[in-house]
Structure 1
């Protein structure tokens, strides 16, 4: 039997790097493939954990297409894809692809990457884990007619919307690809003490992530990494359930979940709109 292969995006720092370290310790034979934006950081973590690594800037969808081809060139099967890369940004910025930056980095790029890796996912265990956030419940509200925030924009609102969209993305994957062996879920790793928000100078972001308050209000990167590693080492249908949203490693309650995640018509329309934005064929 081939060794298990796990792809972690956002693998150069934060919970992605921590999860990779923990996976290497717990499953020495596992094949790790890391995707990051920083050449130096990504290479350093890859050397540390003995992983293949590739670079991609999610603000450019052509780089997502290239990194998908790179991954396919070294792995004919993928057991779990961790869509973990993301971030919150400052002023509204439009990418070269014509999309609002927060939406593209947190949703459109991982959505496209997953689409391009469906064949190796089908050949493996087919796990897809989307990193969401408590922001999805607190400030998230997907406006299906304004996904790119052309009418209204605020950094944390755009981030919360994108993290809610990650949940809808997982639900759509489950609905459309479960019978093809794809097992998708989303999870909130907890409020983790990382470099999150480095490009956002909002008062609350600075207070929580760049002052001593972070040690009191946020969990350690090792804990956030362990929460991600739980899904990467576990078996869908046994350790975690496809088509569900988790708070850390426990099924999220209805109170912990944005009510839009229960709107099946919205999930379906969201699925259609994102395919249209990316110009890909809908399953």
Structure 2
């Protein structure tokens, strides 16, 4: 067993794959979470072939479904005695409204609630490895986000950008609220903007939205550039003990005013716990 173990969600393409490769090169045993079994196996094999001596394990789950996250966490606990780094990276943007098996709008479920749910499920492994790090891939899109408490799924007036920005704001709020609760445990929680990257996160959409993404994608930054800040937060000694911050281009920057709002952080934390059917953790 290597000295350090990391888990990366959304690891079968784009930023997630590059993050997993970077962590393998840094000497971590990497767990890769993907939705498609064949792509997950292929990505693990690619990492083992690319990085001499690398250990890469595949885990399959649909992170928009709460029962799948609970099952995944149980499998990870069976495989690993501890977890040094958790990179919550999986996410997508959808061109039309859809609800998950839990009855929750799928962008909020996948891009926000899954981060919170998996982090809480794996806290015991992170505590076993402390000092440990939770890295949440948010976005500068959080700056235009607002939490629509009266219509969280925007079912009445759906907008892909609005629900995506709301979920990314959720990431920033969650990271800060979790950091307060983990103070003194040796586990840090930080969020980041990866840049505007030519990833596949919008590739499943059709219509004008999907076409627009395909048109601009060749002009965007490469996935390895997008992974740089995630890898920095997971590995750099310069951020040891740094928690509750938001990073862009490997530097701490201030998030939006809403992202810094402690009352909003606590309100969204409480609402998210209710959606997950979970109790709060001790501060």
TM-score by length of 1: 0.90
- Residue 148 of structure 1: how far off its partner (Å): 3.2
In structure 2, the residue matched to 1:15 is 15
Please give the residue correspondences for 1:1-283 in structure 2 after superposition, counting only pairs within 5 Å.
3-25=3-25, 27=26, 29-50=27-48, 51-124=56-129, 125-137=131-143, 139-201=144-206, 203=208, 206-207=211-212, 209-211=213-215, 213-216=216-219, 218-235=220-237, 237-238=239-240, 241-253=242-254, 257-283=255-281
Aligned mates of 1:49, 1:178 — CA distance in 2? 34
Higher mean C-alpha displacement, 173-182 vs 109-118:
173-182
Change (3 A) 1:112 1:100: same
Q: Structure 1 residues 22 and 180, CA, compared in 2 at 3 Å: closer, same or farther? A: closer
Deviation at 1:23, TM superposition (A): 2.3
Query: SS of the counterpart of 2:12?
Result: coil
- Of 2-11 and 193-202, deviating more is 193-202
SS of residue in 1 equivalent to 2:7: strand
Question: 1-side partners of 2:17 and 2:142: how far apart?
Answer: 23
Tell me if structure 1 keeps the 8 A contact 2:16–2:89: yes
Cα deviation, residue 181, structure 1: 2.5
The Cα of 1:60 is off from its aligned counterpart by: 1.7
Cα drift, residue 54 of structure 1: 0.4
CA displacement at 1:204 relative to structure 2: 5.5
CA separation of 1:196 and 1:261: change in aligned 2, threshold 3 A: same
- Figure out how many residues of one structure are paired with residues of the other and give that number: 273
What is the CA–CA distance in structure 2 between the aligned matches of 1:165 and 1:252, rounded to whole Å? 17
Give the conservation status (yes or no) of the 8 Å contact 1:85–1:106.
yes
> Which piece of structure 1 moves more, 222-231 or 33-42?
222-231
Q: Following TM superposition, by how much is the alpha carbon of 1:37 offset from its aligned partner in structure 2, in angstroms?
A: 0.7
User: 1:236 and 1:66, CA in 2 relative to 1: closer, same or farther beyond 3 A?
Assistant: farther
How far apart are 1:91 and its partner, in Å?
1.4
Confirm or deny: 8 A CA contact 1:191 1:219 kept in the other structure: yes
Q: How far apart in 1 are the matches of 2:141 and 2:106?
A: 17
8 Å contact kept, 2:229–2:247 = no
The worse-fitting range, judged by mean Cα deviation, of 62-71 and 224-233 is 224-233
Structure 1 contact 130–186 (Cα < 8 Å) conserved? yes
User: Which whole-Å CA distance do the structure 2 matches of 1:79 and 1:21 have between them?
Assistant: 16
Distance 1:111 1:264 in 2: 17
Distance 2:239 2:217 in 1: 35
**Alpha carbons of 1:100 and 1:179: their partners in 2 closer, same or farther (altered >3 Å)?**
same
Deviation at 1:142, TM superposition (A): 1.4
Q: Provide structure 1 residue ranges, at least 5 long, that are not aligned to the other structure.
A: none
Worse-superposed segment, 173-182 or 112-121: 173-182
Q: Structure 2 CA distance, aligned partners of 1:281 and 1:22?
A: 35
Q: 2: distance between equivalents of 1:145 and 1:179?
A: 36
Instruction: State the superposition RMSD in angstroms.
Output: 1.9
TM-score, normalised relative to structure 2: 0.90
Where does the alignment leave 5 or more consecutive residues of structure 2 unmatched?
49-55
CA, structure 1 residues 150+214, in 2 after alignment: closer, same or farther (shift >3 Å)? Answer: closer
